[in-house]
Amino acid sequence: MSLTTPLKRARGLGSAKDGTRHFWRQRLTALANIPLLIAFVFILMTLLGRDHATVTAAFGNPFVAIVMLAVVVSALYHAKLGMQVIIEDYIHGEAMKFALLLANVFFTAVVALTAIFAILKMGFGS
């Protein structure tokens, strides 16, 4: 028999003890993605049809490179959080859930690192 009250037992953040933090991170990245994606689309539309030298020169501008890096990091982190919720809610086998959560982390990390490398490579003119 436990001496804790029902309210004390219910004050956790959910079964994973991470629900509120996860909720706010997903909402904040969604909010951050609005201006970032608008800037991303504007930059891409400006560079559409340009040659490689022009695109590389544009990415040499620190503002453009930073915006593109922020888009990659924010959008992929938001995607990782969203897929995590889907996997946790709809996959019931523990082994499959663990494997998919691990794949989710590695997939977003590989895509992010590849995109960051490409942006930095263009930004530094290599």
Half-sphere exposure of 117 (CA within 13 A, CB side): 6
pLDDT, position 5: 72
Does 12 score more than 60 pLDDT? Answer: no
What are the boundaries of each domain within the chain?
18-123
With tokens 């969604």, the residue in question is 30
CB 83 within 8 A of CB 97: no
Cα separation values, 116 from 24, 59, 70, 110, 126, Å: 25, 12, 10, 10, 14
Helix (H, G, I), strand (E, B) or coil at 2: coil
pTM summary value: 0.82
Q: Which two tokens stand for residue 106?
A: 């590695």
Q: What is the pLDDT of residue 20?
A: 86
Write down the pLDDT at residue 26: 95
CATH number for the domain running over 18-123: 1.20.1300.10
Please check the confidence at residue 46 and state whether its pLDDT lies above 90.
Answer: yes
pLDDT at 78 over 80: yes
